[in-house]
Amino acid sequence: MNVTTTGNAPQERRVPTFVMACIGVFVAYLPVTTVSASLPAIQRALNTSTAQLSWVSVAFVLPMAALILTAGVFGDVHGRKKVFQAGLAFSGLGALIALCAQSIEVLWAGQAFAGLGAAALLPSTLALISHAVPDPRERGKFIGVWATSLIAALAFGPVIAGVILDHFAWRWLYLLPVPASLLALVVSTKLLTDSRAPGTRRLDWPGQLTSALAITALVYGIIEGGANSFTDTKVMLALSTAVVASVAFILVERRSSSPMLDLTLFRSPSFTATALIAMISFLGLIGFFFALSLYFGMVQQLSTLESAWRLMMVCIVPMVLGVPMGRLVHRVSPRVLIPGGLLLAAVALLSLTTIDAGTSFGSVAWRLALLGLGVSFVLTPMTATAVSSVPFHQAGMAAAANNAFRQLGAALGPAVLGALLSARAVDALPGHLTDAGLGGATVRRVTEAADAGGLSAVGRLRLGADTPRVLGAVSQAFIDGLQLCLVVAAVLTLLAAVVGFVLLRRPQQSVLPATGPAASVQGPRTPDQPTADVRTTAGPQATAPR
């Protein structure tokens, strides 16, 4: 396959490109945890139901998961810089709409625009780095810091939310992203060098529509099924639509002359492994974070800021190890790093099954730090392997696909584990009420409230002198549900480790030459992939693909 592409990004442009990519991924991920930590305050201010509140987060996650692949294609065709700037613009616009929201519906709209911005930022930031740093060994260090920026957004989000909610109304959470996005947009105009995929790639509208429909229907069906019933007509219709759309997507992509997701990439065991690991591990880990934040709030009665400091324990270790891990990723096989990290994470999750309502911060902290250590061995190597396991000209597609699988898992995690937690807790509640010495009438009343509205509905009951014993029973029932979630998250993490051990291979790559006209090089490939003859022109006769 003969492909002509633009020359490498100038050396002096690498640092600005890298800095802008880190800012972009920070802006993209900041709303994930700031808004999640602020949901109780939003519920009180806008007087929403639990179902309406759940869609605040979903409104952000759905467009992000459904449109990441599409954004990657747009970047390949029209330029990664343009998609990056569009992502900043949508993120700022979404934050501005949410800042002015006076109703839950307007807040949903703001979250959706912000999610669209995140969908554009995630693949474009990695593609910009891949273009600026074509040498995969050197690129690993840059991706390590990129991953640290991602973790920093997740870590500082709850802290920012806690500080703001202690002094201001919830809507001021959205003030910071507005000037940050605008400033980054202006600066990127001068500093970034644009890049496109070589060749004659075109937009794949059938693939884009079927993939977006499949992901949206799947996430909607899982969330609504967990909140209500999987036998509900609209839930069954949504899940059926997801299956049909997924099959249609595969058929469309196999026949497309310019597919959005080249299915031949899955012939590479390493690429397939990173996609599966991203989805499975993030389903378990993000679902665990959702359950743990509820534990801190409902069981231990901690404030948003107090919970944030505890959740930061998971993120501190990956932040510290991000850069060293980027250097290590090409010295140690991903078959060792990624499964090893997942095993550490599984051990940490299982160790947390012994916590109860009175567990101290110190007792929880070391287990969360161990979980963070496991995550640090996974995130950077997984991202670097996904990008490096495909030919250089498909780096943008690989980055978008890896992010899409990751966000799909992140979207499904809270829905799946949240449904398991609720079902187990409600089922265990009558036994704990009886153990607390409560009478039959009280047990029936509390159980009926929990069946109808979940454990949070019990807190709104007026139970007089029985209130302390009822709340104690609710806490014990919640811990039963949390233990089930931890076991399931650990099993999913172990499954991801097995996938990594079986499929991951060390990529065999050649370093692209920095100079020389019409230098013929072999793009990054894995042992199972055919060689791609990529020709790079760095001289004055180089032409950018249109």
> What residue has token string 């909140």?
227
Nearest to 532 by CA among 384, 392, 388, 387: 392
User: Could you give the CA distance from residue 209 to residue 219 in angstroms, rounded to a whole number?
Assistant: 16
Q: From residue 413, how far is each of 42, 198, 216, 452 by CA, in Å? A: 22, 36, 15, 23
Q: What are the extents of the domains in the chain?
A: 2-203+258-426+478-503, 204-257
The pLDDT score that the predictor gives to residue 51 is: 62
> What residue has token string 């449109």?
67
User: Could you give the CA distance from residue 151 to residue 376 in angstroms, rounded to a whole number?
Assistant: 10
The pLDDT score that the predictor gives to residue 113 is: 95
Alpha helices in 377-394 (DSSP H): 379-388
Query: Burial letters for 488-506: b for 16+ Cβ neighbours within 10 Å, e otherwise?
Result: bbbebbbbbbebbbebbbb
The pLDDT score that the predictor gives to residue 11 is: 58
Residue 191 region, left (φ>0) first, then alpha (ψ -120 to 50), else beta?
alpha
Provide the residue count of the chain. 546
> What residue has token string 């996904």?
386
The tens digit of pLDDT for each residue in 164-215 reads 888 888 889 898 889 989 998 998 888 777 777 666 667 788 888 898 899 8
Q: From residue 515, how far is each of 34, 208, 324 by CA, in Å? A: 45, 37, 29
Query: Which parts of the chain have pLDDT scores under 70?
Result: 1-13, 49-51, 136-137, 140, 197-201, 227, 322-323, 326, 329-330, 392-396, 453-454, 456, 505-546
User: Could you give the CA distance from residue 89 to residue 114 in angstroms, rounded to a whole number?
Assistant: 9
User: Could you give the CA distance from residue 115 to residue 12 in angstroms, rounded to a whole number?
Assistant: 32
CATH tag, 2-203+258-426+478-503: 1.20.1250.20
Write phi, then psi, for 266 (nearest 5 degrees). Answer: -75, -5
Amino acid in the structure at residue 289 = F
Q: Environment class of residue 190 by beta-carbon count within 10 Å: exposed (0-12), middle (13-18) or buried (19+)?
A: exposed
The pLDDT score that the predictor gives to residue 436 is: 82
